[in-house]
A = this chain, B = another copy of it.
């Protein structure tokens, strides 16, 4: 990827998160990225194209962050915790990318093609855990509720430590996971 293209992606992501799609002008993005407006449209056909590419970019980052962790030798709880931590750490370390995904997940500006392409990979990732959930020591419930509960807790934890960074330490992160795990345990 060309240098200016990357610069535009990196610059526009926090702007979109903080000011929304319509609240961020292409002029502002270009200016902040230190390129001409024409350059932005050289790399991204439209503003929609830019945000679509940002969505792919962010989702790939979060997938990478969580990937390839399942360890058969550890307990199921340990494996789930590891996944949970990967997501939470990603959200804390790269809050803009995380918030971008949360904000534009339902946005009409992300093409359904892109959404579908990404969602597929996500489903693959979680497949290995689903099995464990079903056999495990956790409450009986349908998949969607479990997934939403998991995600809700990840999101909640990230948001909480974003708001209260002085509270973020090993102990409180452990506690947050226990809140989640004790909720689903039988």
A interface residues, Cβ below 8 angstroms from B: 20-23, 139, 141-142, 144-145, 148-149, 151-153, 155-156, 159-160, 163-164, 167, 172, 175-176, 178-185
Contact = CB atoms under 8 A, between A and B. Distances in A.
Given A20-B22, A183-B179, A185-B182, A156 B167 contact: no
Q: Helix, strand, loop or mixed for chain A's interface?
A: helix
Contacts of A159: 148, 152
Copies in the complex: 4
A165 to B, nearest CB: 12
A136 to B, nearest CB: 15
Q: Which 8 A/B pairs are nearest by Cβ-Cβ distance?
A: A152-B156, A22-B22, A183-B183, A179-B183, A148-B160, A22-B23, A182-B183, A20-B20
A173 to B, nearest CB: 11
Nearest to A142: B167
A149 B20 CA distance: 26
A88 to B, nearest CB: 13
